[in-house]
Chains A and B, each alone.
Chain A
Amino acid sequence: MTFNTMVLLIAQGFMKSFLIFCLTLLGSLPLGLLVAFGRMSAFKPLRWLVKIYISIMRGTPLMLQLMVVFYGPSLLLNMKISTDWRFWAAIVAFVINYAAYFAEIYRAGIESIPAGQYEAASVLGYTKRQTFFRIVLPQVIKRILPPVTNEVITLVKDTSLASVIALTEMFTWAERISVSQGTLMPFVIAAVFYYVFNYIVAFGMERIEKALDYYR
């Protein structure tokens, strides 16, 4: 196999990794906000349920969660598995795992907004909804950007865990080619892809941080 063929195959795998990355963020960033609300709910049973969910997501390996989500329906529930379930199982596992982490970041951000902001909004007659979306959330986003960047960068690398359920993303390709060709080169190529992509992610997040630098 030529070097160029290797790069081509791995680039194909990268497209799938990239898709996992995008869909995971698309699902987990908003879901995390809902989870954060549940975590801060005045309704105790909901608060506890969400707490247990977050605790399990953070306390067990993502690799294990991928296995459970992928094999669970057929082994536990005797459901018939369609061919594209492999892909969607990975998305579901990534989304519910990352939502738990994002929820805790959101919660910390929301709780860091001074009570005076809520009081000023209340006296000015803002509704709860307006207070959250106009006053609180914009300030929360600025504050949580650094920890969110951390998570996003981790996610780029975590997409490789999908290889455990034989999803043909970049890492799976690299592994297969490496075994069949008896060379480490595919891993080097994959590493370059991960690194460059993360470099771009970090650069983009830094730009967003700079854009929000207009106030303190």
Chain B
Amino acid sequence: MKILEINGCSKQFGSMEVLKGVSISVMAGEVLAIIGPSGSGKSTLLRCATLLETMDGGDLVYLGKYAARADRDGRSVYASPAELRRMRSRFGMVFQNFNLFPHYSVLRNIIDAPVSVQKRSKAEALESAGALLKKMGLEDKADAYPYQLSGGQQQRVAIARALAMKPDILFFDEPTSALDPELTGEILKVIRQLAEENMTMVIVTHEMAFARDVSDHIVFMDDGVIVEEGGPEIVSNPTRERTKLFLERFRQ
């Protein structure tokens, strides 16, 4: 089953063409890693997929339903706001800077959206939040506030918050870039565990070894296009010159 499909996504900021017709598709249970240099458009692609940016052209499809569909000229036409809101519950997003709500306790961060957005019962939300906290190794932090936690703990809360919405697909936008190398490991471990549980994920990352280990498919982007894609082996054996250059520079 195809969870996400993006066809020919283009996006311009002023006169800057950030995305020049990018297409990806993600099957259920698949982990897609997007790598590439800064400014290559990978974060913008993720922001288009999560409806934080509107695409100029192309299709955005979740589970066969169009969030945006290209018209005859290729311009993206978006579904109604009500429909888009329903689609938002299909995906979750984990940000580079966590973006937890500082005035809510850890528990409230996790249950607020399920209760006030998805209108689930509080008892059920609390129960699933408890299970998620346990899974993240944060059972004892339910009543803490975000500022009292380390970066790694905050990011695990952010992952729990996203999972609490029971999304079909989870996006990660450089989830370890704001963390010390020490704390990076604990987040990668969590993502790896989710991959083992067959969570469908799209991960923008600079951790090459991690991308190779955890993903089923890797996309290398540069300058708004997909330069190369394939299995995890492209990290070790890239075929394109541009990919080789990037990975070499990365190893130094």
Chain A residues packing against B (C-beta within 8 Å)? 114, 116-117, 119-120, 122-127, 130, 134-135, 138-139, 142, 214-216
> Which residues on the A side are within 8 Å of B103 (C-beta)?
138-139, 142, 215
> Which residues on the A side are within 8 Å of B100 (C-beta)?
120
- Number of B residues with CB within 8 Å of any CB on chain A: 27
On whether the beta carbons of A134 and B116 are closer than 8 Å, the reply is: yes
Select from chain B the residue with minimum beta-carbon distance to A215: B145
In the assembled complex, 23 residue pairs joining A and B whose CB atoms fall closer than 8 Å, in A order, are A114-B99, A116-B97, A116-B99, A119-B99, A120-B99, A120-B100, A120-B101, A122-B88, A123-B50, A123-B162, A124-B113, A124-B117, A124-B161, A125-B113, A126-B117, A127-B85, A130-B116, A130-B117, A135-B101, A139-B102, A215-B102, A215-B147, A216-B147
Asked if B16 is at the interface of the complex by the 8 Å CB criterion, the answer is no
Complex Cα gap A123–B162 (Å): 9
Complex Cα gap A142–B102 (Å): 11
Chain B residues packing against A (C-beta within 8 Å)? 50-52, 85, 88-89, 91-93, 95, 97, 99-103, 112-113, 116-118, 145-147, 161-162, 165
CB distance from B109 to the nearest CB of A (A): 9
> Which residues on the B side are within 8 Å of A124 (C-beta)?
88, 113, 117, 161, 165
Complex Cα gap A153–B109 (Å): 36
Complex Cα gap A126–B95 (Å): 17
> Which residues on the A side are within 8 Å of B116 (C-beta)?
126, 130, 134
Select from chain A the residue with minimum beta-carbon distance to B114: A124
CB distance from B145 to the nearest CB of A (A): 5
Select from chain A the residue with minimum beta-carbon distance to B118: A125
Complex Cα gap A214–B145 (Å): 8
On whether the beta carbons of B112 and A134 are closer than 8 Å, the reply is: yes
Apart from A119-B52, A119-B99: 6 A-B pairs, beta carbons within 8 A: A123-B88, A124-B117, A126-B113, A127-B85, A134-B116, A139-B102
> Which residues on the A side are within 8 Å of B95 (C-beta)?
116, 119-120
Complex Cα gap A63–B95 (Å): 51
On whether the beta carbons of A122 and B101 are closer than 8 Å, the reply is: no
CB distance from A75 to the nearest CB of B (A): 50
CB-based closest 9 A-B pairs: A120-B99, A116-B99, A124-B113, A216-B147, A125-B88, A123-B93, A125-B117, A215-B145, A138-B103
> Which residues on the B side are within 8 Å of A117 (C-beta)?
99, 101
Complex Cα gap A114–B95 (Å): 13
Complex Cα gap A166–B225 (Å): 74
Given contacts A116-B99, A135-B101, A215-B102, contact A123 B146 (CB under 8 A): no
Complex Cα gap A122–B51 (Å): 8
On whether the beta carbons of B52 and A122 are closer than 8 Å, the reply is: yes
> Which residues on the A side are within 8 Å of B85 (C-beta)?
125, 127
Given contacts A116-B97, A125-B113, contact A216 B102 (CB under 8 A): yes
> Which residues on the B side are within 8 Å of A130 (C-beta)?
116-117
> Which residues on the B side are within 8 Å of A116 (C-beta)?
95, 97, 99
Complex Cα gap A114–B89 (Å): 23
On whether the beta carbons of B165 and A215 are closer than 8 Å, the reply is: no
Choose among B100, B103, B165 the residue with the greatest number of A CB atoms under 10 Å from its CB: B103
> Which residues on the B side are within 8 Å of A127 (C-beta)?
85
> Which residues on the A side are within 8 Å of B52 (C-beta)?
119, 122-123
> Which residues on the B side are within 8 Å of A215 (C-beta)?
102-103, 145-147
> Which residues on the A side are within 8 Å of B165 (C-beta)?
124-125
CB distance from A72 to the nearest CB of B (A): 44
Select from chain B the residue with minimum beta-carbon distance to A122: B52
Choose among B85, B89, B102, B146 the residue with the greatest number of A CB atoms under 10 Å from its CB: B102
On whether the beta carbons of B117 and A123 are closer than 8 Å, the reply is: no
Select from chain A the residue with minimum beta-carbon distance to B84: A125
Complex Cα gap A139–B162 (Å): 21
> Which residues on the A side are within 8 Å of B112 (C-beta)?
134
Complex Cα gap A127–B118 (Å): 11
CB distance from B182 to the nearest CB of A (A): 23
CB distance from B161 to the nearest CB of A (A): 7
Complex Cα gap A122–B50 (Å): 9
